[in-house]
Structure 1
Amino acid sequence: MRAMIPFPEVSPEIFTVTLFGMELALRWYALAYIVGILIGWRLVVATLKRPALWGDRGAPMTPQQLEDLLTWVILGVVLGGRLGYVVFYKGAYYAQNPMEILRVWEGGMSFHGGLLGVVLAAWLFSKKHGIPRLQIADAMALGTPAGLLLGRIANFINAELWGRPTDLPWGVIFPGYAAQDCGQTLSLLCARHPSQLYEALLEGALLGGALLWLVFRRNALATPGVVSGVFFAGYGLARFVVEFVRQPDAHFVTDGNPLGLALHVGGVGLTMGQILSLPMILGGVWLIRQARRNG
């Protein structure tokens, strides 16, 4: 019998309270967002209090301006993430059921959509306050991996966004009919790649560690565009690689397209996550080259 790892008995809800006949729950996913934002905010504040890290220009904004930016960023994440999911992943469905777009509590968020929302929010904020756009981008890039790390761990606790079937010894037996529907022989369990944890390691821990090293050891903030360029390229590359073992959304999978490829010819192609990650990789590399050339 091949080795498998049982899914840990962890509830997606930390605790539940009843108020006025309604049950209100604090979920790990919500806590991950909150704690991730707080960690990112404190990291950026630490750099603003050390103007020398930003080179001759000094810190681009005050801690108070950063707090104002945080509100804009949260709106960009929520609105952009939801609209990105609607457009990139289930456009046809929501075109027929437009009122369901508002049902955010039922799930359905796209990182790439949230990223576009944050970019737009940051651009508007920088224009309003006269703050250099690349320096705002660098600050937000530094603060993002902590949220990605915690968010992906929360995805694992929620038993969602799991990977493709695997016979590797660290394959996880995720609960639920969909996770266990691997086409295996009746009564056998299906183990899948814990792709959420792969992403937590690559997008969160590894990428976050690299950015911290660049900022606090290599003085990268003094060259605007380097930190954000490394973030874009690093995230895009990590996501592109993990997509090879990540199970795509069910509506992409058909009898003729069992791998759920969004763009393919003869069974060879790219998933939607890979398609959306390619511009990030190319844009990140371009940003780094431009920054080093200008610096």
Structure 2
Amino acid sequence: MRPTLFSIGDFSVSSFYFVVFICVIVGNFLTWWEIRRNKLDLVMATKGAVITTTMGYLGARAMHIVFDGFLDIYIQKPLAIFAVWKGGLAFYGTVIFGLPTAVWWFTKHKAPLMKYLDCYVLGLAFGLGLGRSACYLNGCCFGEISASPFAETFLRYGLSAKNQFARDILLNLKELPLPVLPTQLVSTFVTSSIFLVLWFYFRKHKKKDGELLGLWLTMYGTFRFIIEFFRADDRGLFFNNLLSTSQLVAIITFTIGVLILVLPSEETLKEKNNDRTVQDSI
């Protein structure tokens, strides 16, 4: 855990946002690489990436503020909403705001939507894989208290310590918090593995446009639903604390992913329409 990467006088660089910056740069580079490889419109895709990335970031911040269990704090201290250097992003906000923005952008330009989204999702998958390491450095998104040999003890006054203090597990914040499961590292490993499988296998063997997007939505949705049961950080709970906000979103993204995989592609629908047109003209 290293919330601050380095400091020069009063100026400090957040480890969290440094990693997020790398995710955005490399993620967009991978997207542009795929755009060029598929001989798509690079200029239109670049403009779309800027708009989508911006909306995704705003969505991630908004989801954190509203659904991660800190809304009362932000209402009491509204200026804290703008203290983005302290962290506070909910990844699913990126999907909820960013994906519809991308759909709107490419639909507006009458572009082959699923071809572009397959390129975009590779950058997104990379960013999520590396981005979870930012959560580890920041000390957020931690797991439940555990006696496992893999459990880790985070810093005094850190987020896990504050969580345990609020639950009356610690007497004060000067104490070291009890060891917790490093769910951030598990997430980093699994989500990075999903990216590698998509990049090195499925992008070269996909059977239809939209397949990469559908696979990512189903695989990540499944993993996210499971890992949430092992997390202890405040992130919004529903149905008598049975499900978290992220689990509800995971159910939706999984369902959308399955529909994308099983429904006919845009090209298949066009071919059927063309066949009908030919038959009608005979």
Pairwise same-fold verdict (TM > 0.5)? yes
Q: 1:122, 1:24 → 2: CA distance?
A: 36
What's the counterpart of residue 109 of structure 1?
89
Report the CA distance between 1:207 and its aligned residue.
0.9
What's the counterpart of residue 256 of structure 1?
none
2:160 and 2:233 in contact (8 A); partners too: no
Amino acid at match of 1:245: F
1:236 and 1:277 in contact (8 A); partners too: yes
Q: 1:89, 1:275 → 2: CA distance?
A: 13
**Percent identity (aligned):** 23
**Structure 2: unaligned runs, 5 residues or longer:** 269-282
Report the CA distance between 1:67 and its aligned residue.
2.1
What's the counterpart of residue 194 of structure 1?
182
What's the counterpart of residue 164 of structure 1?
144
**Shift in alpha-carbon separation, 1:270–1:290, aligned structure 2, 3 A:** same
Larger mean Cα displacement after TM superposition, 167-176 or 84-93: 84-93
**Shift in alpha-carbon separation, 1:84–1:44, aligned structure 2, 3 A:** same
> Any idea what SS the aligned residue of 1:248 has?
coil
Residues 1:15 and 2:6 aligned together: yes
Report the CA distance between 1:184 and its aligned residue.
5.8
Amino acid at match of 1:171: A
Q: 2:198, 2:121 → 1: CA distance?
A: 8
Q: 1:199, 1:96 → 2: CA distance?
A: 32
Q: 2:66, 2:169 → 1: CA distance?
A: 33
Q: CA RMSD in A?
A: 2.8
* TM score, norm. by length of structure 2: 0.80
What's the counterpart of residue 151 of structure 1?
131
Out of 238, 251, 269, which is 1:278 matched to? 251
Report the CA distance between 1:170 and its aligned residue.
0.5
Residues 1:88 and 2:67 aligned together: yes
Q: 2:263, 2:214 → 1: CA distance?
A: 9
What's the counterpart of residue 262 of structure 1?
238
Residues 1:288 and 2:261 aligned together: yes
Moved over 6 A (4+): 185-188
Q: 1:33, 1:115 → 2: CA distance?
A: 15
Report the CA distance between 1:188 and its aligned residue.
8.3
* TM score, norm. by length of structure 1: 0.77
What's the counterpart of residue 204 of structure 2?
217
Out of 188, 207, 219, which is 1:234 matched to? 219
Aligned length: 259
**Shift in alpha-carbon separation, 1:190–1:92, aligned structure 2, 3 A:** closer
Matches within 5 A, 1:113-128: 113-128=93-108
